[in-house]
Amino acid sequence: MGKAKIGFDLQDKIGAIDDRVYGTFAEHLGRMIYNGIYEPKHPLADKQGFRTDVLEAVKALNIPIIRYPGGNFVSGYNWEDGVGPKKKRPKRLELAWSAVETNEVGIHEFADWCEKVGTKIMMAVNLGTRGMDDARRLMEYCNFPGGTELSDWRIKNGRKEPFGIKLWCLGNEMDGPWQMGHKTAKEYGRVACETSKLLKLLDPESETVACGSSNRDMCTYKQWEREVLQECYEVVDYLSLHQYFAPSNVDGDHRSYLTLAENMDAFIREVVEICDEVGKAKGSDKKINLSFDEWNVWYHSSEQDKQIPRWQVAPPQLEDIYNEEDAVLFATMLNTLISHCDRVKVACLAQLVNVIAPIMTKPGGGMFLQTIYYPYFYASNYGRGEALRPDITCTKYDCAKFKGAKAMHVSGVLNRDGELFVMAANRSGEAEEVTLTVKGGDVASVIECKRLSGDAKAGNSFENPNNIAPVAAECKITEEGVTFTAPAESVHFIRLALKK
Ligand code: AHR
């Protein structure tokens, strides 16, 4: 067994974590909306057709913000199709995912659901088949109090108070050849600049996110960031990053797969460097922060999705069933976002229900929580406050794609309740005996210590919903520090009370 030391110094802070780092994403895709959050015929549906069991599971995640309505979907979406009397709403072919969109859920219904859940919308606009005029109209419809055609239309459609949406994504993955309305960096940079200008003329308090690369392996990566920022640096607030990990990223090597957060870390560092380079070249005082607005593990469903017939309503697409090892990688991705809280101000777990999701539902039936639900649950509920820099000494390992990786991957947050919340993943193949110390404060007690571990390939299901779920684990306060044993490929969630 290896020996690990994790040291925190209460004075050594990375920075304040923006709550929006614990955002998620809800796209009109597969069974995310229809037969996910919305299923009017379900016995547990409320008057508006929202499943109350799903609502409760989502509420428990305490989500600050949800990106909506896409994703690739948004690049072909006419938001007007989803407002007004439901019976009059058109059914449309949805080209991004080869499905049929019924438009039963639109902005009004989604905003109502968000209110029930206690979250806010991060709105994405269609810069694919549409453009800046559409974005302007959508913002006026959503946010203007009344007295204009569009705001009065909202009121007529049942919503007197504006939706008050403050965070706006300027399109989605516009660098991707698969995207409807795909653009070159120069073309997109100009559109992003002019769209952001219009949105800010309408609401100067709104913030905008320009599209960065769809992932770090795009052949246009870096050049895209530079050229886009060249055009829109002064008028946007954030640049986006997207990244999904799969064993295929590392030729199927198991240990390398569990180490992929290193690539996420490098991705963030590189994009920060580019933002600052462009800012410097422009002689600007402004800093562009990052919005990591799609991240997750995604691969289990890729083959089965090829068999799904086209043009169905709510087909079962992207229904990954996650296992224990996915949750370990997932926790290290979350740790990485926390460790970059000085520049990553928004992040969205993609997605929320059924579609590469922490929550799975059966039409007319039950639901279960996936393995990845738990790291997200703990971080979102207990990881709000200031991130501390962990000082880690532990076993190192080499694998096919990474050399000298640390077994322990850890984040520590001095949260708003004055607790120290620690998420500690052991991504190696050997157990580590861990001693955790806190400089500048004494640990008074262990409020909670849970561990997620077990068969790396096992997950949860409707039949066996708690197969892989956190269980109470031993964590002792000793003279040396707080000690616990981290089995191979496990995650600990530890909440420590500090002496006043
Ligand atoms: O989250 C699924 C898809 O992944 C999104 O629609 C797209 O933006 C990304 O490629």
* Average pLDDT estimate for 337-345: 98
| Structure token digits, residue 1 | 């067994």
Q: What is the DSSP letter of 459?
A: B
pLDDT tens sequence across 193-221: 999 999 999 999 999 999 999 999 999 99
> Partners of 295 in the beta sheet?
243, 349
Residue 349's pLDDT is 98
Determine whether the shortest distance from the Cβ of 124 to ligand 1 is under 6 A.
Answer: no
Contact present, 209 and 239 (Cβ < 8 Å): yes
Determine whether the shortest distance from the Cβ of 350 to ligand 1 is under 6 A.
Answer: yes
- Which residue minimizes the CA distance to atom 8 of ligand 1? 71
Q: What are phi and psi of 266, to 5 degrees?
A: -65, -40
pLDDT tens sequence across 258-311: 999 999 999 999 999 999 999 999 999 999 999 999 999 999 999 999 999 999
Q: Which of 213, 242, 305 to mutate to test the pocket of ligand 1 (most atoms within 8 A of CB)?
A: 242
C-alpha–C-alpha distance, residues 336 and 379, integer Å: 12
294 as an active site residue: the answer is yes
C-alpha–C-alpha distance, residues 409 and 223, integer Å: 31
Q: Environment class of residue 293 by beta-carbon count within 10 Å: exposed (0-12), middle (13-18) or buried (19+)?
A: buried
C-alpha–C-alpha distance, residues 277 and 280, integer Å: 5
C-alpha–C-alpha distance, residues 176 and 486, integer Å: 40
Whether this prediction's pTM lies above 0.95 is answered by yes
pLDDT at 366 over 80: yes
Nearest atom within ligand 1 for CA of residue 172? 8
| C-alpha to C-alpha distances, 207 to 9, 67, 166, 238, 355, nearest whole angstrom | 34, 13, 6, 8, 27
DSSP alpha helix (H) spans, 203-241: 223-232
Contact present, 334 and 344 (Cβ < 8 Å): no
Determine whether the shortest distance from the Cβ of 74 to ligand 1 is under 6 A.
Answer: no
Q: Which of 24, 74, 97, 173 to mutate to test the pocket of ligand 1 (most atoms within 8 A of CB)?
A: 173
Residue 500's pLDDT is 76
Determine whether the shortest distance from the Cβ of 94 to ligand 1 is under 6 A.
Answer: no
For the chain, give the mean pLDDT. 98
C-alpha–C-alpha distance, residues 284 and 287, integer Å: 8
* Average pLDDT estimate for 340-367: 98
Peptide bond into 351 cis (omega under 30): yes
Nearest atom within ligand 1 for CA of residue 350? 1
Nearest atom within ligand 1 for CA of residue 318? 2
Quick count: other Cβ atoms within 10 Å of Cβ 2? 18
